[in-house]
Every structure is written in C-alpha cells, then in structure tokens.
C-alpha cells in the first residue's frame, strides 16, 4: 500500500501522559468528528495511549490486495459508517467504493504520529469516528422525545390513516437512531443530518403545540407533517442497504442548474436562487421565516450540487429569501433522477423592481 501523509495536520487530540477513555474531538473534511479508541476484536472502549495522537488526511492506493477495509485499518481507523462518511466527503467523485478500480488513489482518514499509530496497531485497537457529533446528539435527543409522544397521537389527529402515518414517521426516526447507535447506518452528508434534525424539531413542535392547547393539529400542520413524512420516507430508502462487510454507497450527488428569466436582465442578474426541504417549506413570505439555503453564485444559469431529496426552489433578491421574485418550484430528486437536472424559473412582470 502506498501511503502519503498530507502535511496539514487536522487536529491535535490530546496531551501526552494522560490515560483516558474519554472521546476526543477533531475535524476533517470540513466536519467536526468525535474520536473513540476501541478494541478491534469486540469494539469495547480502550484507553488512549500516552503517545501523541493526531487525526490526519492521507492518500492511499487501492489494489487487488488492499481493499478499503484494509486501508482504513492500516491507518488505525475502524472501518464503520463514520469512517465511510469521511471517505466519501474526502473523495466527492466517488459514490461507491466497491466499484473503485485498482490503482485508484483515495484520500483517507488516518491516525498520524508514527509512534502513536504503531502503539494502537500493536494493541489491536482502532479509532472510531463519529461525524457531526453535536448534530447527532441533538437529533437523538429529539428522536427520544418524539417516542414519548406516540401515545398522544390519537389526541391530536382524529383520522386513523393519519394517525398511522404519524406513528410510522416517528418509528422511522427511531430506526435512524438505533441504526446509528449500532453503527449500521448509511454514510450521511451533513445536509441530511441538518434536514432530519430541523424536520424532527418541527414535527415535535406541531404535536406538542396541539397537546398544550388541547386541540387537533391544524390543516397547515397536517400538510407539514405529510411533507416531513415524504422527506423521511425518501431518506429511509438509504437504510435498505445492509453493510454486510461491503462498504455502503454514498448519497448520490445531483447537479441542479436553475435558469431565471424575465424582462429586466439587470434585475435578474442580482437574484440568488434559494432552496429548502419540502418538510420545512411554508408559503412565502412566512413568519417566522423558513430555514433556507442559497446557491453560492448570484444570477441565472448557476448550478449547485444537491442530494436525493424533496425541495422547493425560488429566486429572490440577495439576502432576502423570504420575499421570492419567482413562484417557488417543487423539485423531487430520487434514485431515478438524471445526474444533471435543469429548472426554469420566471420573474413575473410585477416583481421586477
């Protein structure tokens, strides 16, 4: 195996001469990471060695004799969903490490500091990576709170079919938490974790708000719950893949180009395309404003890499997504969608000012 350590050290984990099983914090691929040392045979917790340990990014060559599991283990990293998440983030051109051709060079997470790595491997230990630990912690806490609301579903929704849909939705969230804790979950992009957390917050707020006021959920809340249901159902398709000693695939990336037309080219050039997830969307302008995300570049004809989700897109003056210049457009991206998509938005005559 050819391994070349990149010069930039990502994060210093802890001072030497301190033995502890406490998790360490680092960062790699632009994402915060929690690190835990475990025994390789049973994944039980282990104490960090006195040697200085650093998390770094390295390059490694895939060969017929060295698959992704072997490369990660040789780097001192446990080959689990957390590690594969980082592998895909470091190699955005790769969506399935199972199909990587021999002699392909990949960027991989690794334990640096030769003596520290040597000590870990000698002790038959590995470093487990938990990506976006703070988001995960908030999401798990929200999921556990949602479980407590299941007995109250019949108090806020009268229709049996809608009750079943809401219970199934909460059950999906419970499965997401269980799979994460069992380390059998798929590699998720940070955007997906943010979507799941934001929608879980809205779902909880709708149920708790209705319970507090001793009422049924409103029609608008029913529509939002249905939209969240559709979003999470789409996410659950990724949980159908079983790890089974085969690295899971990454979330697919789709290039979305948005064309904006109208009679005033100068006005259009100053617009930014915004988007949000279906479960977060409300008619605009909204109070309070909805959570939205802007394309990186201003103007028409710009592209953004999006993932397999349900979206609403619109164009608005830069910095003012709450007041759309174009009617919002609903976009569904699933496994059958082409890798490149195009959306056409038009500014009505009265909005071009």
Whether 265 and 347 have beta carbons less than 8 Å apart is answered as no
pLDDT value, residue 246? 66
Assign 352 a pLDDT band (cuts: 50, 70, 90): low
* 123 and 212, same domain (yes or no): no
Q: Give this prediction's pTM.
A: 0.88
* 60-81: average pLDDT: 92
* 210 shares a domain with 127: no
**Do 142 and 120 fall into the same domain?**
no
Query: Is residue 126 domain-shared with residue 137, that is, in the same domain?
Result: no
| Per-position b or e across 213-243, b if 16+ CB within 10 A of its CB | eeeebeeebbebbbbbbebbebbeebeeeeb
Q: Which of 182, 210, 240 is the last residue of a domain?
A: 240
Q: Is 59 in contact with 82 (CB distance < 8 Å)?
A: no
pLDDT at 243 over 60: no
Domain boundary among 240, 273, 288: 240
Location of structure tokens 């003012």: 320
pLDDT score at 97? 87
Q: Which of 80-84, 197-201, 240-244 has the lowest mean pLDDT?
A: 240-244
Please state which of the ranges 204-208, 249-253, 283-287, 341-345 shows the lowest mean pLDDT: 249-253
202 part of a folded domain:
yes
**Mean pLDDT, residues 257-273:** 95
Confidence of residue 118 (pLDDT cuts 50, 70, 90): confident
For the ranges 62-66, 234-238, 251-255, 300-304, the maximum mean pLDDT occurs at 300-304
Both 116 and 149 in a single domain?
no
Q: Lowest-pLDDT range, 1-10, 125-134, 220-229, 269-278? A: 1-10
Pair (119, 24) in one structural domain: yes
Residues 124, 11 share a domain: yes
Say what the pLDDT of residue 53 is.
80
Q: Tell me how far apart the alpha carbons of residues 64 and 225 are, in angstroms, rounded to a whole number.
A: 48
Chosen domain end from 131, 148, 167: 131
**CATH code assigned at 290:** 2.60.40.1120
Residue 120 has pLDDT above 90, yes or no: no
Residue 245 placed within a domain: no
- Answer yes or no: do 29 and 140 share one domain: no
Instruction: State how many domains the chain has.
Output: 3
- Which residue range is the domain that position 190 belongs to? 133-240
pLDDT at 353: 65
Residue 246 lies in a domain: no
Per-residue model confidence (pLDDT) at position 248? 81
Using CA atoms of 274, 280, 285, 286 in order, give the dihedral in degrees to the nearest 10.
-150
Do 17 and 97 share a structural domain? yes
**pLDDT at residue 15 greater than cutoff 50:** no
Structure-model confidence comparison of residues 228 and 2, the more confident one: 228
DSSP characters over 192-208: HHHHHHHHHHHHHHHHH
Mean per-residue pLDDT for 297-302?
Answer: 97
In angstroms, the CA 58 to CA 56 distance is 6
In a domain, 60, yes or no: yes
**Cα(62)–Cα(231) distance, rounded to whole angstroms?**
36
Strand boundaries in the chain, DSSP class E: 3-12, 24-28, 31-39, 54-61, 105-112, 125-131, 253-261, 271-277, 293-294, 302-307, 310-317, 329-332, 340-346
Establish if 247 belongs to a structural domain.
Answer: no
Portion of the chain with pLDDT greater than 70, in percent = 91
Within a domain: 174: yes
State residue 276's pLDDT score.
Answer: 98
| Residue 342 sits in the same domain as residue 326 | yes
113 and 19 in one domain?
yes
Is residue 223 domain-shared with residue 282, that is, in the same domain? no
- From CA 101, how far away is CA 345, in angstroms rounded? 40
98 within domain boundaries: yes
Q: Reply yes or no on whether the pLDDT at 19 is more than 80.
A: no
pLDDT at 122 (0 to 100): 84
Helix axes 160-182, 190-212, angle to 10 degrees: 140
- Kindly state whether residue 248 falls inside one of the protein's structural domains: no
């Amino acid at each position: 195996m050819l391994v070349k350590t990149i010069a930039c050290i990502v994060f210093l984990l802890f001072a030497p001469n301190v033995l502890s099983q406490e998790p360490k914090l680092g960062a790699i691929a632009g994402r915060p990471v929690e690190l835990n040392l475990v025994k390789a045979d049973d994944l039980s917790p282990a104490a960090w060695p006195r040697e200085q340990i650093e998390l770094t990014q390295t390059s490694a060559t895939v060969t017929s004799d060295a698959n992704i599991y072997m490369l990660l283990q040789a780097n001192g990293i446990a080959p689990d969903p957390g590690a594969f998440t980082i592998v895909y983030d470091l190699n955005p051109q790769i969506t399935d490490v199972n199909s990587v051709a021999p002699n392909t060079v990949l960027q991989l997470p690794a334990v640096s500091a030769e003596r520290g790595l040597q000590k870990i491997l000698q002790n038959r230990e590995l470093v487990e990576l938990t990506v976006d630990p703070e988001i995960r912690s908030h999401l798990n806490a929200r999921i556990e709170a949602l479980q407590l609301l299941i007995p109250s579903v019949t108090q806020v929704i009268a229709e049996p079919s809608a009750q079943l849909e809401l219970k199934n939705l909460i059950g999906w969230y419970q499965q997401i938490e269980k799979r994460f804790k069992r380390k059998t979950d798929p590699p998720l992009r940070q955007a997906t974790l943010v979507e799941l957390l934001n929608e879980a917050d809205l779902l909880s707020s709708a149920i708790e708000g209705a319970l507090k006021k001793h009422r049924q959920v409103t029609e608008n809340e029913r529509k939002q719950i249905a939209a969240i249901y559709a979003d999470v159902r789409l996410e659950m398709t990724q949980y159908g893949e079983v790890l089974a000693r085969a690295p899971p695939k990454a979330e697919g990336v789709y290039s979305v180009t948005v064309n904006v037309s109208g009679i005033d080219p100068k006005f259009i050039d100053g617009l930014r395309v915004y988007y949000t997830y279906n479960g977060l969307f409300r008619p605009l302008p909204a109070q309070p404003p909805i959570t939205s995300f802007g394309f990186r570049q201003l103007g028409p004809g710009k592209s953004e890499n999006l993932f397999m989700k349900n979206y609403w897109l619109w164009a608005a003056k830069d910095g003012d997504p709450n007041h759309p210049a174009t009617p919002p457009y609903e976009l569904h991206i699933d496994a059958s969608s082409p890798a490149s998509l195009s959306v056409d938005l038009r500014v009505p005559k009265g909005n071009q000012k």
